[in-house]
Amino acid sequence: MNFLKAACFAAVSALIAVTPVRVVLAQGVDEQMLLHPPLDSWPGYHGDYSGRRHSPLNQITPQNVKNLSLAWAFQTEQLAQIKSSPLLVKGILYFTVPDNIWAVDARSGHQIWHYTYPPNKGLHIGHRGVGMYKGYLFFLSPDAHLVSLNAKDGTVRWEVTVADATKGYWTTMSPLIVGNHVLVGVSGDFDNLSGFIRSIDPETGATQWQWNSTAPPGTPNQSTGGMTWMTGTYDPELNLVYWGTGNPTPVLNGSTRMGDALYTCSIVALNPDSGKLVWAFQPSPHDTHDWDAVETPVLVDGDFHGRRKKMLMQTSRNGYFFVLDRANGKNLLTASYGPVNWALGVDEQGRPIPNPAKEPAPDGRLVAPDEGGLTNYRSPSFDTRNGLFIVDAHPSYSIYFAKPADGTYGWAGADYGVWGKGVIEAIDYQTGKIRWSHELGPESGAGVLTTDSGLTFTGDGHGNFLALDSSDGKTLWHAGSGSRIQSSPITYELDGRQYLLTSSGGVLFAWALPQS
């Protein structure tokens, strides 16, 4: 890239933007930034509200990506693996592992501040990052508290309890900021608890509304569960927030919760100002395999078989790819994207029909995919250039057991993975057919990012960061990272230079083309 040209462009952009932006950005993130993230920012978990993780940046191209080299690395010096997506606001990256937030200079990778949450007994399985509103960060703790901090120095503004950790709740997700709402979700399927989405006032920490995915525990013949542990997406035109809910409880034994178990394993559309449910679609009715439908609900506007549609797409953990009309939740397409053997077919609403013979049983049932699912929390990407939904898939088989002695509380059974592998799959969203696939080895890899220059960034099951050609999946660049990759890459432009940001183990890596 011509540096002078880039510098001039940056300077002109700065001049154009200087008056309106300086006033607002002095405080950090504002509504306009979340609606239209500038190229030098990544202000929310998914970057923008769509969940597409498709960047317009095109300095790194299929032709020059082979020259990509390390700009800097940041070592957390911790064993906890980075599973978060960093935010980038005003040249500063904010990212997390459980109990920890770092603010790091995005130009150099040096630490600005480090916040540590006090020792607590919450579940420390992972952390997906912070949310930001004005100059404030919002961080969920393992013991299900929401902490608001000042982004400039990491000092705590306030802390509120989101859920009772002693009952079995914990929190890991990156809050979604919509208007003046901090939207948070919870985890906790080892106990028969109700999942919920709560809207919290960013200034005071007060609850604005709460939407419960299931009835209160103890309601006869009703399912509990429906945890809300992944960040949703938002359509400002329809003013709807889209969120996935998790599995019902008891998890593997469905005998006490006959029927569909609404709203577990569902994609729900809520009004962010009132918390009212507008529509719901259920990828896994009466789930008995722990297949949360929390995977990113990706929002795409475009052609669907000749008609322009506002669509929502999800590669669900249960092995099916869904395309919905996101104005009303009506199904447009349901197609499996790997080995799936638990459904008898698809019903008239587009939902897979669970085969009772594949419910967990005392002598075991061979089920595809495994409990981790055909994909999981690592982000997919929608490549608008090629019309491809690109996902880190995990073809797999497992055996599921449940017997009366396992009871009807919490897990209520046992399951064992038998075999699996990792594959990046590029799905044609109009047909559900796999256009290309790229083998990753015996394990799942990383999340996916695509760019308008025609690149797909991800990682394999051995810890290699990969750049693939988005048109055919061929490898164009790689770098061994030395650990497993548990996160999704992001990209941004600073000082006219495009950076790719990846992580593996406890290390953050920034990549860029060499400067001439």
Partner 1 sequence: MSFLGSNLHWSVLLAGPLLAGLAVSAAQTTAPAPANTIRSQAYPPELVQSGSALFRQDCSFCHGRDAGGGESGPDLTRSKVVTTDVAGDRIGAVVRSGRPDKGMPRFAYSDQQIASLMAFLHTQQSDALTKKGGRKGVDVSDLQTGNVEAGKQYFDGAGGCATCHSPTGDLAEIASRYQGLELEKQMLYPKHAKAKVTVTLVSGQTITGTLAYLDEFTVGLIDPTAVYRSWRTGDVQYKVDAPVNAHVELFAKYTDADIHNLMAYLQTLRQSPRSGSVP
Exactly one of 397, 430, 432, 469 binds partner 1 (CB under 8 A); which one?
Answer: 397
Q: Please give the Cα distance from 267 to 285 (Å, whole number).
A: 12
Bridge-based pairing state of the strands 449-451 and 54-55? parallel
Would you count residue 128 as binding partner 1 (CB under 8 A)? no
Q: How far is the CB of 373 from partner 1 (least distance, A)?
A: 10
Q: Please give the Cα distance from 113 to 104 (Å, whole number).
A: 7
Alpha-carbon torsion, ordered 483, 442, 398, 368, to 10 deg:
120
> Which residue(s) pair with 439 in the sheet?
423
Residue 475: how many CB atoms within 10 A of its CB?
12
Q: Which amino acid is at 302?
A: G
**Residue 21, SS3?**
helix
Exactly one of 19, 118, 218, 405 binds partner 1 (CB under 8 A); which one?
Answer: 405
Exactly one of 364, 428, 437, 469 binds partner 1 (CB under 8 A); which one?
Answer: 364
Exactly one of 55, 76, 81, 256 binds partner 1 (CB under 8 A); which one?
Answer: 81
Q: How far is the CB of 194 from partner 1 (least distance, A)?
A: 18
Q: Please give the Cα distance from 25 to 242 (Å, whole number).
A: 27
Which of these, 320, 335, 313, 326, lies nearest to 431 by C-alpha position? 335
Q: For partner 1, which stretch binds (CB under 8 A), given 3-11, 45-53, 302-310, 417-425?
A: 417-425
Bridge-based pairing state of the strands 307-315 and 100-105? unpaired
Q: How far is the CB of 197 from partner 1 (least distance, A)?
A: 21
Residues in binding contact with partner 1, number by CB under 8 A = 50
Residue 71: how many CB atoms within 10 A of its CB?
21
Of 201 and 439, CB closest to partner 1:
439
Would you count residue 462 as binding partner 1 (CB under 8 A)? yes
Would you count residue 79 as binding partner 1 (CB under 8 A)? yes
Would you count residue 195 as binding partner 1 (CB under 8 A)? no
The tokens for 330 are 């009506």
Quick check: bond before 250 cis, omega within 30? Answer: yes
Would you count residue 290 as binding partner 1 (CB under 8 A)? yes
List, in sequence order, every beta strand (DSSP E) within 110-263.
111-116, 131-133, 136-140, 145-150, 156-161, 176-178, 181-185, 196-200, 207-212, 224-225, 233-235, 240-244, 248-249
Q: Which string of x and - marks every residue 34-73 that binds partner 1 (by CB under 8 A)?
A: ----------------------------------------
Would you count residue 366 as binding partner 1 (CB under 8 A)? yes
Would you count residue 77 as binding partner 1 (CB under 8 A)? no
The tokens for 157 are 């503004």
Exactly one of 64, 271, 341, 384 binds partner 1 (CB under 8 A); which one?
Answer: 341
**Residue 110, SS3?**
coil
> Which residue(s) pair with 322 in the sheet?
314, 334
Exactly one of 72, 113, 190, 304 binds partner 1 (CB under 8 A); which one?
Answer: 190
Q: For partner 1, which stretch binds (CB under 8 A), given 103-111, 208-216, 459-467, 488-496?
A: 459-467
Would you count residue 357 as binding partner 1 (CB under 8 A)? yes
Of 157 and 421, CB closest to partner 1:
421
How far from 216 is each of 212, 256, 304, CA to CA, in Å? 9, 15, 40
Q: How far is the CB of 80 from partner 1 (least distance, A)?
A: 8
Q: Please give the Cα distance from 424 to 435 (Å, whole number).
A: 11
Would you count residue 434 as binding partner 1 (CB under 8 A)? no
Would you count residue 121 as binding partner 1 (CB under 8 A)? yes
Would you count residue 302 as binding partner 1 (CB under 8 A)? no
Would you count residue 135 as binding partner 1 (CB under 8 A)? no
Of 91 and 417, CB closest to partner 1:
417
Residue with tokens 């990778």: 109
Would you count residue 473 as binding partner 1 (CB under 8 A)? no
Would you count residue 142 as binding partner 1 (CB under 8 A)? yes
What is the Cα 330 distance to its own chain's centre? 23
**Residue 380, SS3?**
coil
Which of these, 208, 200, 121, lies nearest to 159 by C-alpha position? 200
Q: How far is the CB of 79 from partner 1 (least distance, A)?
A: 5
Exactly one of 134, 401, 435, 437 binds partner 1 (CB under 8 A); which one?
Answer: 401
Would you count residue 217 as binding partner 1 (CB under 8 A)? no
208 and 200 Cβ atoms separated by less than 8 Å: yes
Q: For partner 1, which stretch binds (CB under 8 A), given 153-161, 209-217, 358-366, 489-497?
A: 358-366
Would you count residue 346 as binding partner 1 (CB under 8 A)? no
**Residue 103, SS3?**
strand
Of 492 and 509, CB closest to partner 1:
509
Which residues would be at the binding site for partner 1 (CB under 8 A)? 79-81, 121-125, 142, 168, 190, 290, 339, 341, 357, 361-366, 368, 371-372, 397, 399, 401-403, 405-407, 410-414, 416-419, 439, 441, 443, 460, 462, 464, 475, 478, 484
